[in-house]
Chains A and B, each alone.
Chain A
Amino acid sequence: EAGVAQSPRYKIIEKRQSVAFWCNPISGHATLYWYQQILGQGPKLLIQFQNNGVVDDSQLPKDRFSAERLKGVDSTLKIQPAKLEDSAVYLCASSLITGFYNSPLHFGNGTRLTVT
Protein backbone atom coordinates (compact mmCIF):
# COMPACT_ATOMS: atom_id res chain seq x y z
CA GLU A 1 0.00 0.00 0.00
CA ALA A 2 1.14 3.53 -0.61
CA GLY A 3 2.36 5.31 2.49
CA VAL A 4 1.50 8.67 3.98
CA ALA A 5 2.51 11.38 1.51
CA GLN A 6 3.75 14.77 2.66
CA SER A 7 4.95 17.82 0.77
CA PRO A 8 7.13 19.70 0.56
CA ARG A 9 10.06 17.78 2.05
CA TYR A 10 11.92 20.95 2.94
CA LYS A 11 10.92 24.58 3.39
CA ILE A 12 12.95 27.61 4.37
CA ILE A 13 11.15 30.85 5.22
CA GLU A 14 11.82 34.05 7.08
CA LYS A 15 10.16 34.81 10.37
CA ARG A 16 6.75 36.42 10.10
CA GLN A 17 6.12 34.70 6.76
CA SER A 18 3.43 32.08 6.35
CA VAL A 19 3.83 28.47 5.28
CA ALA A 20 1.57 25.51 4.54
CA PHE A 21 2.20 21.79 4.61
CA TRP A 22 0.16 19.12 2.89
CA CYS A 23 -0.56 15.55 3.87
CA ASN A 24 -2.32 12.73 2.06
CA PRO A 25 -2.95 9.77 4.38
CA ILE A 26 -3.14 6.13 3.47
CA SER A 27 -6.33 5.44 1.54
CA GLY A 28 -9.20 4.57 3.83
CA HIS A 29 -7.55 5.84 7.00
CA ALA A 30 -10.12 7.80 8.95
CA THR A 31 -7.77 9.29 11.51
CA LEU A 32 -5.06 11.81 10.70
CA TYR A 33 -2.51 13.38 13.03
CA TRP A 34 -0.03 16.25 12.78
CA TYR A 35 3.05 16.11 14.99
CA GLN A 36 5.85 18.62 15.53
CA GLN A 37 9.36 17.28 16.12
CA ILE A 38 11.90 19.83 17.24
CA LEU A 39 15.55 18.85 16.82
CA GLY A 40 16.68 16.64 19.69
CA GLN A 41 13.18 15.91 20.90
CA GLY A 42 10.47 13.37 20.24
CA PRO A 43 7.37 14.17 18.20
CA LYS A 44 4.62 16.15 19.90
CA LEU A 45 0.99 15.89 18.82
CA LEU A 46 -0.45 19.12 17.43
CA ILE A 47 -3.86 18.01 16.20
CA GLN A 48 -5.87 14.86 15.55
CA PHE A 49 -8.71 14.52 13.04
CA GLN A 50 -11.32 11.79 12.82
CA ASN A 51 -12.61 12.04 9.26
CA ASN A 52 -13.06 15.83 8.90
CA GLY A 53 -13.71 16.57 12.57
CA VAL A 54 -11.14 17.64 15.16
CA VAL A 55 -10.68 15.14 18.00
CA ASP A 56 -7.84 16.83 19.86
CA ASP A 57 -6.17 20.18 19.23
CA SER A 58 -5.21 20.95 22.80
CA GLN A 59 -1.52 21.37 21.95
CA LEU A 60 -1.98 23.40 18.79
CA PRO A 61 -0.84 27.04 19.17
CA LYS A 62 -4.05 28.40 17.73
CA ASP A 63 -2.86 31.98 17.54
CA ARG A 64 -0.58 31.05 14.64
CA PHE A 65 -1.27 27.46 13.64
CA SER A 66 -4.32 26.18 11.82
CA ALA A 67 -5.20 22.88 10.21
CA GLU A 68 -8.03 21.56 8.15
CA ARG A 69 -9.20 18.32 6.62
CA LEU A 70 -12.17 19.48 4.64
CA LYS A 71 -13.22 16.32 2.81
CA GLY A 72 -11.95 13.88 5.38
CA VAL A 73 -9.02 12.83 3.22
CA ASP A 74 -5.99 15.07 2.79
CA SER A 75 -5.06 17.79 5.21
CA THR A 76 -3.13 21.05 5.36
CA LEU A 77 -1.31 22.58 8.30
CA LYS A 78 -0.59 26.31 8.17
CA ILE A 79 1.61 28.58 10.22
CA GLN A 80 1.02 32.31 10.04
CA PRO A 81 3.15 34.14 11.02
CA ALA A 82 6.09 31.86 11.60
CA LYS A 83 8.52 32.30 14.48
CA LEU A 84 12.07 31.07 14.83
CA GLU A 85 10.97 28.45 17.36
CA ASP A 86 8.69 26.86 14.76
CA SER A 87 11.76 25.37 13.07
CA ALA A 88 11.07 21.64 13.25
CA VAL A 89 10.02 18.60 11.28
CA TYR A 90 6.27 18.40 10.83
CA LEU A 91 5.07 14.84 10.69
CA CYS A 92 1.75 13.59 9.44
CA ALA A 93 0.45 10.21 10.50
CA SER A 94 -2.71 8.25 9.82
CA SER A 95 -4.48 5.24 11.20
CA LEU A 96 -7.44 3.19 10.10
CA ILE A 97 -9.49 3.95 13.19
CA THR A 98 -8.82 5.65 16.49
CA GLY A 99 -8.39 2.45 18.45
CA PHE A 100 -4.72 1.64 18.80
CA TYR A 101 -4.34 -2.07 19.09
CA ASN A 102 -5.22 -3.16 15.61
CA SER A 103 -4.69 0.22 14.05
CA PRO A 104 -1.12 1.45 14.38
CA LEU A 105 -0.02 4.90 13.30
CA HIS A 106 1.66 5.17 9.91
CA PHE A 107 3.97 8.17 9.62
CA GLY A 108 5.00 10.16 6.59
CA ASN A 109 8.58 11.31 5.96
CA GLY A 110 7.81 14.76 7.29
CA THR A 111 8.44 18.34 6.18
CA ARG A 112 11.54 20.00 7.57
CA LEU A 113 10.85 23.68 8.22
CA THR A 114 13.63 26.18 8.82
CA VAL A 115 12.63 29.66 9.93
CA THR A 116 15.39 32.27 9.59
Chain B
Amino acid sequence: AQSVSQHNHHVILSEAASLELGCNYSYGGTVNLFWYVQYPGQHLQLLLKYFSGDPLVKGIKGFEAEFIKSKFSFNLRKPSVQWSDTAEYFCAVNAGGGSQGNLIFGKGTKLSVKP
Protein backbone atom coordinates (compact mmCIF):
# COMPACT_ATOMS: atom_id res chain seq x y z
CA ALA B 1 0.00 0.00 0.00
CA GLN B 2 1.12 3.53 -0.67
CA SER B 3 2.41 5.50 2.28
CA VAL B 4 4.00 8.83 3.03
CA SER B 5 6.58 9.35 5.76
CA GLN B 6 7.45 12.69 7.26
CA HIS B 7 10.59 12.38 9.30
CA ASN B 8 10.05 15.03 11.92
CA HIS B 9 7.04 15.38 14.16
CA HIS B 10 7.99 18.78 15.56
CA VAL B 11 10.69 21.17 14.40
CA ILE B 12 11.67 24.26 16.36
CA LEU B 13 13.73 26.97 14.66
CA SER B 14 14.73 30.53 15.28
CA GLU B 15 13.81 33.22 12.79
CA ALA B 16 16.17 33.41 9.79
CA ALA B 17 17.21 29.79 10.17
CA SER B 18 16.99 27.53 7.14
CA LEU B 19 14.31 24.88 6.96
CA GLU B 20 14.20 21.46 5.42
CA LEU B 21 11.32 19.09 6.09
CA GLY B 22 11.69 15.55 4.87
CA CYS B 23 9.07 13.58 2.97
CA ASN B 24 9.43 10.09 1.51
CA TYR B 25 6.78 8.07 -0.22
CA SER B 26 6.39 4.45 -1.18
CA TYR B 27 5.10 3.97 -4.69
CA GLY B 28 7.04 2.83 -7.72
CA GLY B 29 5.01 4.43 -10.47
CA THR B 30 4.11 7.93 -11.56
CA VAL B 31 3.17 10.22 -8.70
CA ASN B 32 1.89 13.71 -8.16
CA LEU B 33 3.35 15.36 -5.08
CA PHE B 34 2.07 18.13 -2.85
CA TRP B 35 2.88 20.09 0.25
CA TYR B 36 -0.02 21.56 2.22
CA VAL B 37 0.20 23.96 5.14
CA GLN B 38 -2.21 24.58 7.99
CA TYR B 39 -1.65 27.80 9.93
CA PRO B 40 -3.06 27.92 13.47
CA GLY B 41 -6.84 28.14 13.35
CA GLN B 42 -6.96 28.05 9.58
CA HIS B 43 -7.80 25.53 6.91
CA LEU B 44 -5.38 23.42 4.93
CA GLN B 45 -4.02 25.21 1.91
CA LEU B 46 -1.77 24.23 -0.95
CA LEU B 47 1.84 25.34 -0.64
CA LEU B 48 3.23 23.81 -3.82
CA LYS B 49 2.82 20.86 -6.16
CA TYR B 50 4.84 18.73 -8.55
CA PHE B 51 3.33 16.97 -11.55
CA SER B 52 6.14 16.72 -14.07
CA GLY B 53 9.06 18.65 -15.53
CA ASP B 54 11.57 20.57 -13.47
CA PRO B 55 11.99 18.61 -10.21
CA LEU B 56 12.61 21.82 -8.28
CA VAL B 57 9.27 23.50 -7.72
CA LYS B 58 8.61 26.84 -6.14
CA GLY B 59 5.56 27.62 -4.09
CA ILE B 60 4.09 30.47 -2.18
CA LYS B 61 5.87 32.45 0.54
CA GLY B 62 9.36 31.51 -0.57
CA PHE B 63 8.99 27.76 -0.15
CA GLU B 64 10.41 25.28 -2.61
CA ALA B 65 10.59 21.51 -2.86
CA GLU B 66 12.78 19.11 -4.78
CA PHE B 67 11.55 15.84 -6.22
CA ILE B 68 14.28 13.19 -6.22
CA LYS B 69 12.81 10.18 -7.95
CA SER B 70 15.66 7.83 -7.06
CA LYS B 71 15.17 8.57 -3.38
CA PHE B 72 11.37 8.66 -3.48
CA SER B 73 11.64 12.01 -1.75
CA PHE B 74 10.00 15.42 -1.97
CA ASN B 75 11.64 17.58 0.70
CA LEU B 76 10.38 21.05 1.51
CA ARG B 77 12.86 23.89 1.96
CA LYS B 78 12.98 27.54 2.83
CA PRO B 79 16.25 29.49 3.14
CA SER B 80 15.11 31.77 5.95
CA VAL B 81 12.01 31.14 8.05
CA GLN B 82 9.85 33.77 9.66
CA TRP B 83 7.71 33.65 12.77
CA SER B 84 4.65 33.64 10.47
CA ASP B 85 5.75 30.27 9.06
CA THR B 86 4.69 28.63 12.31
CA ALA B 87 2.23 26.00 11.12
CA GLU B 88 1.75 22.32 10.45
CA TYR B 89 3.06 21.04 7.13
CA PHE B 90 1.70 17.99 5.34
CA CYS B 91 3.26 16.13 2.46
CA ALA B 92 0.80 14.31 0.17
CA VAL B 93 1.04 11.94 -2.76
CA ASN B 94 -1.41 10.96 -5.43
CA ALA B 95 -0.47 7.87 -7.36
CA GLY B 96 -0.99 8.07 -11.10
CA GLY B 97 -4.26 6.50 -12.13
CA GLY B 98 -5.83 6.78 -8.72
CA SER B 99 -8.81 8.88 -7.82
CA GLN B 100 -7.88 12.52 -8.19
CA GLY B 101 -8.86 13.28 -4.64
CA ASN B 102 -7.25 10.23 -3.15
CA LEU B 103 -4.29 12.01 -1.70
CA ILE B 104 -2.22 10.00 0.73
CA PHE B 105 -1.09 12.39 3.43
CA GLY B 106 1.82 12.09 5.79
CA LYS B 107 1.27 12.60 9.50
CA GLY B 108 2.44 16.17 9.34
CA THR B 109 5.33 18.16 10.79
CA LYS B 110 4.65 20.93 13.23
CA LEU B 111 6.99 23.87 12.74
CA SER B 112 7.48 26.37 15.54
CA VAL B 113 9.52 29.47 14.73
CA LYS B 114 10.84 31.47 17.67
CA PRO B 115 10.98 35.23 17.16
B102 in contact with A56 (CB, 8 Å) = yes
B44 in contact with A43 (CB, 8 Å) = yes
A100 in contact with B49 (CB, 8 Å) = yes
User: Chain A interface mostly helix, strand, loop or mixed?
Assistant: loop
Q: Determine how close the nearest CB of chain B comes to the CB of A88; give it in whole angstroms.
A: 13
B44 in contact with A91 (CB, 8 Å) = yes
Q: Determine how close the nearest CB of chain B comes to the CB of A10; give it in whole angstroms.
A: 13
B102 in contact with A109 (CB, 8 Å) = no
When chains A and B are docked, how far (Å) is the Cα of A48 from the Cα of B105?
16
- Check B70 for interface membership: any CB of A closer than 8 A: no
- Check B81 for interface membership: any CB of A closer than 8 A: no
Q: Tell me the chain A residues, 70-116 only, with Cβ under 8 Å from chain B.
A: 91, 93, 95, 98-101, 104-110
Question: In the complex, how many residue pairs between chain A and chain B have their CB atoms under 8 Å apart?
Answer: 66
Nearest CB in chain B to that of A31: its residue: B101
**A95 surroundings in chain B (CB, below 8 A):** 100-101
B94 in contact with A100 (CB, 8 Å) = yes
Nearest CB in chain B to that of A94: its residue: B101
When chains A and B are docked, how far (Å) is the Cα of A45 from the Cα of B94?
11
Q: Contact flags (1/0) for B89-115 with A, using CB distance below 8 Å?
A: 010101000011111111110000000
Residues of B participating in the A interface, judged by any CB pair closer than 8 Å: 4, 32, 42-46, 49, 51, 90, 92, 94, 99-108
Residues of A participating in the B interface, judged by any CB pair closer than 8 Å: 3-4, 31, 33, 40-45, 48, 55-56, 58, 91, 93, 95, 98-101, 104-110
